[in-house]
Structure 1
Amino acid sequence: MAPTAEHPGGAAFDAVILAGGEARRLGGADKPGLTVGGRSLVEHVVAAVAGARTTIVVGPERPIPGVAFAREDPPRSGPVPALAAGLNEVSAPWVVLLAGDLPFMTASHVTALLNAATTQPPTPGRPTPRIPDNAAGPMSRSAAGATSWEAAPPSGDARERTPEEWVEAVGGVVMVDDGGREQWLAGVWPTARLKRALAAYPGRSLKGLLGPLTAVRLALPGRPWFDCDTKDDLEEARMNVLNEWTALACKELGIDPATVDRDLILDLTKEVAHGVARPAAPLTAYLLGLAQGAGTASDDSAAKLITLAKNWGQATTETLTDD
């Protein structure tokens, strides 16, 4: 397939994002609406599929521009009915299927999935991509892009395919986590095949539906498969954002990140916010930075400020009664 305006990898695609689960392990919270890095989880995922012709979010409507919404019937009846509701709105030859709680998913990860789906197994001596009629062995692909057949492709006639026939032949791509486990809510699928399989599928498991359609299992750098099922997951995602921001801020300011005791600064701002006043927290961190830059701060200045904030009530009484 030649590259198109829709996607640099050459695949015109729609996106279906499932964002209507019950979030039992989060106490029934509106999981896709929880924020990481200043925007909701589902907004992170919507941004990752910005190149889609149409993005369908299956779940409650939210104020997200340029997104179509659908609901499974009945609501919260599971991922297979939710997928069916989203697929009703899909017309592109490929569909990117994602969960609505993937804070580390980016457009580059989606590009990698699509490129894996639209890359042919090599056929020596033929410049035109060709797929054996009876090729059934799924491919695996690493983050580096190397492709190998999990089972050797069977011998048999091979012929040139039209783009439509080619999409039908190659199957889908599912992302795997760092333990090699398939993440069925992070993948790319040929739309026509998926719709036919779904129409004939009586089960409730995405694995049962998507497993037979899988051609490539793809591992990617970072943790794009990481989802927020628990409060600990959500906190980890938020701390990751903090790590990224710290690194970027240090680079912008010309500071060696190794010299920044982030946890100590966070303890300081927490104690000042709770013990003094919220606006005092960033102000105190700024004042400490000025003192360090001027060389007037001691090695234990942050610890002294933490103690001062914890004893703020007593400190203000003493200050106000000083002669």
Structure 2
Amino acid sequence: MEFDAVILSGGRSARLGGVPKSGLMHDGATLLERALQAARGAAAVAVVGPDSGTLPEGVLNCREDPPFAGPAAAVAAGLSALEQHRRRDPRHPGAAPFTLVLGVDMPRAGAAVQALREAAAGAPPGDGLMAVSADGRRQPLVGLYGTAALQHCVDEARQRGALENASVFALLATLKVREVSVPRGSTDDVDTWDDASALGVSGPPEGQGRDSLGRGRHHPGIRSGAPQLNSTLEANGEEPG
């Protein structure tokens, strides 16, 4: 199946003292690298958030307008970046029938994305599919949405002035998505340092963690990790980032 991907990586990380979630470490890779790995196979990928300087070649980077305007605005920015990319390259095919929307803060999301892809295989995109955890919670930031349907939601919200500071649930309220049960733990996210500890997520490499005032951040019990770029990547919640 063909799909593009929008990875949301630009939240304030308020409950982490401003430390960007994208730079947290899990099993030798940053959460951003984990998200890129989960999205492998996408025709085009847009990461919405500050430029980390470590994105693989060909991965697009953009920001929501204004910065920190929330996940709905971030989805809109990602779709816009993908569309602009297609217009710049006449050899690029049109929009993929599906768009994966993925938050950066779920280190085990790869299993959930795989479940969505298997469920979508051979089916018309329609409004798309959304991950549902083992305990029944819907997770809109692990969704494989019909690109046309998702763009329609963005266009309508923009016309109503309802993109800024809106949730993805609000953005997708009119869609009739198919709910897909995903493996246990695959949509568990990192909002607090306790969440990080429970998921085996460590702090960023020394010197890279910053709070909202730009100061270094250390949290007891969260060890610093060492940056390792997964060779697979090189080959290509509601609070993202």
Residue 222 of structure 1 and its aligned partner are, at CA, apart by: 2.9
Secondary structure at 1:226's aligned position in 2? coil
Quick one: which of 42, 61, 64 aligns to 1:69?
Answer: 61
Quick one: which of 89, 101, 112 aligns to 1:97?
Answer: 101
The residue that corresponds to 2:213 in the other structure is none
Quick one: which of 131, 134, 137 aligns to 1:175?
Answer: 131
Tell me the TM-score normalized by structure 2.
Answer: 0.71
State yes or no: 1:21 paired with 2:25: no
The residue identity in structure 2 corresponding to 1:219 is S
Answer whether contact 1:15 1:52 (CA < 8 A) is retained. yes
The residue that corresponds to 1:188 in the other structure is 144
CA distances 1:194-232 after superposition (whole Å, capped 9, x unpaired)? 111211123322112213213311111131111110001
Secondary structure at 1:213's aligned position in 2? coil
Quick one: which of 6, 14, 31 aligns to 2:21?
Answer: 31
State yes or no: 1:60 paired with 2:22: no
The residue that corresponds to 2:114 in the other structure is 111
In 2, Cα distance between the equivalents of 1:200 and 1:64?
31
The residue identity in structure 1 corresponding to 2:178 is V
Secondary structure at 1:98's aligned position in 2? strand
Residue 89 of structure 1 and its aligned partner are, at CA, apart by: 2.9
Secondary structure at 2:150's aligned position in 1? helix
Over aligned residues, Cα RMSD in angstroms? 1.8
Overall identity of the aligned pairs, in %? 38
The residue that corresponds to 1:260 in the other structure is none
Secondary structure at 2:145's aligned position in 1? strand
In 1, Cα distance between the equivalents of 2:201 and 2:146?
36
Alpha carbons of structure 1 residues 78 and 239: separation in structure 2 relative to 1, 3 Å: closer
CA distances 1:157-198 after superposition (whole Å, capped 9, x unpaired)? xxxxxxxxx43xx31111112321211101100111111121
Residue 64 of structure 1 and its aligned partner are, at CA, apart by: 2.1
Residue 117 of structure 1 and its aligned partner are, at CA, apart by: 2.8
In 2, Cα distance between the equivalents of 1:222 and 1:211?
25
In 2, Cα distance between the equivalents of 1:89 and 1:118?
26
In 2, Cα distance between the equivalents of 1:212 and 1:181?
19
The residue identity in structure 1 corresponding to 2:171 is L
Residue 239 of structure 1 and its aligned partner are, at CA, apart by: 7.1
The residue identity in structure 2 corresponding to 1:176 is V
Residue 88 of structure 1 and its aligned partner are, at CA, apart by: 1.1
In 1, Cα distance between the equivalents of 2:201 and 2:50?
27
State yes or no: 1:206 paired with 2:168: yes
CA distances 1:249-292 after superposition (whole Å, capped 9, x unpaired)? xxxxxxxxxxxxxxxxxxxxxxxxxxxxxxxxxxxxxxxxxxxx
The residue identity in structure 1 corresponding to 2:61 is F
Secondary structure at 1:88's aligned position in 2? helix
The residue that corresponds to 2:186 in the other structure is 224
Residue 115 of structure 1 and its aligned partner are, at CA, apart by: 2.7
Answer whether contact 1:174 1:214 (CA < 8 A) is retained. no
Residue 235 of structure 1 and its aligned partner are, at CA, apart by: 1.0
Give the 5 Å matches for 1:265-304: none
CA distances 1:88-112 after superposition (whole Å, capped 9, x unpaired)? 1332111000001110111x43232
Larger Rg: 1
Tell me the TM-score normalized by structure 1.
Answer: 0.53
Report 1 or 2 for greater relative contact order, CA contacts < 8 Å, sequence distance ≥ 6.
2
Residue 119 of structure 1 and its aligned partner are, at CA, apart by: 5.0
Answer whether contact 2:32 2:104 (CA < 8 A) is retained. yes
Quick one: which of 79, 85, 103 aligns to 2:77?
Answer: 85
In 2, Cα distance between the equivalents of 1:212 and 1:113?
20
Residue 31 of structure 1 and its aligned partner are, at CA, apart by: 1.4
Answer whether contact 1:117 1:216 (CA < 8 A) is retained. no
The residue that corresponds to 1:5 in the other structure is none
Unaligned 5+ segments in structure 2 are 83-94, 203-241
The residue identity in structure 2 corresponding to 1:45 is A
